[in-house]
Amino acid sequence: MYLYSFAKTVVFGILKPIYRFEVIGAENFPKEGGILLCSNHIDNLDPPVVGINAPRPVNFMAKEELFNLPILKSILPGVRAFPVKRGMSDRDALRRAIKLLKDGEVVGLFPEGTRSKDGQLGKGFSGAGFFALRGEANVVPCAIIGPYKPFKRLKVVYGDVIDMQPYRERKASAEEVTEVIMAHIAELLEQYKTK
Domain count for the chain, please give it. 1
Q: What is the pLDDT of residue 87?
A: 54
Average pLDDT for runs of 10 along the chain of length 195 = 77 90 93 95 91 92 75 72 66 86 94 84 89 93 93 95 94 95 96 79
Q: What is the pLDDT of residue 167?
A: 95
pTM: 0.90
Residue 78, domain extent: 1-192
The residues near 10 (Cβ < 8 Å, ≥ 6 apart) are none
- φ and ψ of 191, to 5 deg: -70, -35
Strands 21-24 and 81-84: unpaired
Q: What is the pLDDT of residue 195?
A: 60
Nearest to 157 by CA among 45, 38, 48: 38
Q: What is the pLDDT of residue 1?
A: 54
Q: What is the CATH number of the domain that holds 20?
A: 3.40.1130.10
Q: What is the pLDDT of residue 177?
A: 96
Whole-angstrom distance, CA of residue 26 vs CA of residue 36: 15
